[in-house]
Amino acid sequence: MRFPTFVTNRRIKRNGLAGDVLFLSALVLSSTFYADREVRASAPQKVFLAASFGAKGDGVADDGPAIRALLDAALDANGANGVPVTLRFGAGRTYFVKTAQDRYVFSIHGRNNLNIDGAGATFLLDPYLRFLHLADSRNVTVRNLTVDYSPLPFVEGPVLK
């Protein structure tokens, strides 16, 4: 049986490792793997809830100012070091956004480790708004949401001669 290279605390062995060295190597590797998994799972992460900042998610009230306050708080917590931050919205809610700074509901520049979890929410935007402006950022995730407009920013109909 052939094995890849394993590093132990004593020496490096290649191809045809003895059983006790292989066991030790496998134990060291699996311990490292599980320790690494535990570190990732316990990494400090801040979660900001939209409802805590006044977002109603009823599809009627303008949630723009509340979402802006939520984003500002999350960006402050994320900081220059990129502390992992999640913005979480209510499951199945509809957030009507009529006002937003610089036309974007979410404007994110130069950030790392930021998650926007819609939890199945719908964002209903005024036609002149845009949902996301993302620049110079890494590890930014947007998931579990739908973006729609009310009224639609275009007109549909047949073209007549």
Residues 33 and 50 in one domain: no
Amino acid at 70: L
Predicted confidence at residue 135, as pLDDT, reads 95
pLDDT in the model for residue 41: 45
Residue 104 lies in a domain: yes
Instruction: Return the pLDDT at 52.
Output: 97
User: Is 83 inside a domain boundary?
Assistant: yes
Q: How far is CA 69 from the centre of its chain?
A: 18
**Are 111 and 134 members of one domain?**
yes
Q: Is residue 33 domain-shared with residue 81, that is, in the same domain?
A: no
Q: Are residues 52 and 114 in the same domain?
A: yes
> For the chain, what is the domain count?
2
Q: What is the pTM assigned to this prediction?
A: 0.69
The answer to the question of residue 159 being in a domain is no
What's the pLDDT at 152? 84
pLDDT for the residue 43? 57
Q: Which domain holds residue 36?
A: 6-41
Residue 99, domain member (yes or no)? yes
- 53 and 114 inside one domain: yes
The residues with which 12 forms a beta bridge, in sequence order, are 7
Assigned domain for 158 exists: no
- pLDDT tens string for the chain (161 positions)? 333 333 333 333 344 444 433 333 333 333 333 333 333 444 578 999 999 999 999 999 999 999 999 999 999 999 878 899 999 999 999 999 999 988 999 999 999 999 999 999 999 999 999 999 999 999 999 999 999 999 887 777 888 88
